[in-house]
Amino acid sequence: MIKQNKTNFVLFCFYVTNICQNVTFALLFYRFVIKLRKVIFGGIIMLGIKPVMGWNTWNTFGEVIDEKLILESADALVENGYKDAGYEYIIIDDCWSLRERVDGKLVPNPERFPHGMKYVSDYIHSKGLKFGMYSCAGVKTCAGYPSSYGYEFEDAKQFAEWGVDYLKYDFCFFPQSGNKENAYLTMAMALRNCGRDIVFAACNWGVGEPWDWMRSHGAHTYRSTGDIQDNPKSYIDIFKSQIDNIGGNGAGCYNDMDMLTVGMCGEGYVGLGGCTHEEYLQHFAMWAFFGSPLIIGADIRKISDADKAILLNKGLISINQDPECRPAFKIFELEGDRYAFMKLLEGGKFALAIFNVEDEIEYRKNISVTFDDLGIHSNTPRSVKFTDAVTGEELGNFRDGIRIYVDKRGTKVLIGEICED
């Protein structure tokens, strides 16, 4: 259907240019519609407009990956409603290749991927999904496989031939004498000139403050921390470390706070301890509100219904994917364990998030937000109609402020709409 729409669009463009008597106008029009076609049909200028959503092998499976797992996960993403919710990338992480290059090229491990990567890519695309792969800026990958160091343009061409839509680019074994900014720029240039639109997901773990330069150096997302683990301390530490680094988020480049652990329940490669349902909700809400890519790390084939409901929550996903693509910002922080954030949304609406990460003292769980801190002064004849983003419950209209009870490891995310009194 998409291919047919593209064909019809191009035929329409040629038809208009052919009937134009003014050759100069016809040429200008044609150039314009070609650019418009890229916007409509996902060309280069559309890459990274909103945070990426998808699934990655690493958190659960580590090195234990194969063709069967990838194809089954693609099926599960579609059949279980994740694709309809916006999750579209199936990403193979480290350990997919042979231990050495063959004739200078990366070669998929034939025991794990007997039909090759083009076969896997075609299957994923047949499901209406997109295909992601992994490489590294160091002299080898984190698991010791061949990297793209010194082979950037050759590998980018290879990825394009396989139909890759997304490249995670790690940072292990990077030379001490190397220039990290130039290394990521080099791969960005290679991908931008490989003949295919490929999302560039840089992953240098926050080394050298990438929020200051990754956007300008061609990344669409950039990892800002070390690897996440499946326990509350891990996601809370990442959350706290990135509060001051999300202001640069916006269309074209996003701070990637690492893959989600929601639904892992202590199992898998990074399943160290697990989280409660409430903690998984908090973790997901933090990532969604901060504009991080939402990359599922659990076994997509067997996530519980309760955790699946978190990953498919329409309200939180809509905040993450809001068309205005504005970053969130902190309103206040109390004793280092209670936080309030705001994010402006399309249509004059806004989102308000309150997270209680540690506080167990009962009276401090009642958290007040004054509307003056939201840009709505108390003498303004306006009220705010709040809706719970997670449950969809309408909470009514409020003036001057709102007081909310948030338990330890609790989360409250509201959508606000200003109303005239």
Same domain? 190 vs 222: yes
Is residue 38 predicted with pLDDT exceeding 80?
no
Same domain? 158 vs 200: yes
Is residue 222 predicted with pLDDT exceeding 70?
yes
Is residue 101 predicted with pLDDT exceeding 70?
yes
- CB-based contact 418:348 (threshold 8 Å): yes
Return all residues near 269 (Cβ < 8 A) that are at least 6 apart.
Answer: 58, 59, 60, 61, 62
Residue 388 is among the residues annotated as catalytic for this protein: no
Same domain? 339 vs 238: no
Domain count, the chain: 3
Of 221, 206, 263, 219, nearest to 59 by C-alpha is 263
pLDDT at 45: 52
CATH number at 396 reads 2.60.40.1180
pLDDT at 12: 46
Q: What is the mean pLDDT of residues 369-386?
A: 95
Same domain? 169 vs 267: yes
Is residue 62 predicted with pLDDT exceeding 80?
yes
Q: What is the CA radius of gyration of the chain?
A: 23
Instruction: Give the distance from CA 86 to its chain's centroid.
Output: 11
Same domain? 243 vs 180: yes
Q: What percent of the chain has pLDDT over 90?
A: 87
Same domain? 8 vs 92: no
Within a 10 A sphere around the Cβ of 330, how many other Cβ atoms?
13
Cα dist from 403 to 316, 357, 366, 397, 420, whole Å: 21, 18, 6, 13, 21
Same domain? 356 vs 402: yes
Work out the pLDDT band at 219, boundaries 50, 70, 90: very high
Interstrand relation of 401-405 and 366-370 (parallel, antiparallel or unpaired): antiparallel
> Per the residue annotation, which of 93, 155, 170, 230 is the catalytic one?
170
Q: What pTM does this model have?
A: 0.90
Last residue of a domain, one of 277, 297, 320: 320
Q: Summarize pLDDT for 146-193 with one digit per residue, the tens.
A: 999 999 999 999 999 999 999 999 999 999 999 999 999 999 999 999
CATH number at 149 reads 3.20.20.70
Return all residues near 180 (Cβ < 8 A) that are at least 6 apart.
Answer: 137, 171, 174, 204, 207, 208
Same domain? 78 vs 222: yes
> Minimum mean pLDDT among 40-49, 138-147, 226-235: which range?
40-49
Average pLDDT over the chain, rounded to whole?
Answer: 91
pLDDT at 378: 86
More confident call, 339 vs 17: 339
Same domain? 29 vs 53: no
Same domain? 265 vs 205: yes
139, amino acid identity: V
More confident call, 7 vs 331: 331
More confident call, 45 vs 354: 354
Q: What is the mean pLDDT of residues 250-270?
A: 97
Same domain? 189 vs 306: yes
Residue 227 is among the residues annotated as catalytic for this protein: yes
> Per the residue annotation, which of 66, 75, 122, 227 is the catalytic one?
227
Is residue 9 predicted with pLDDT exceeding 60?
no
Same domain? 89 vs 178: yes
Range of the domain at 33: 2-40
Work out the pLDDT band at 30, boundaries 50, 70, 90: very low
pLDDT at 31: 41
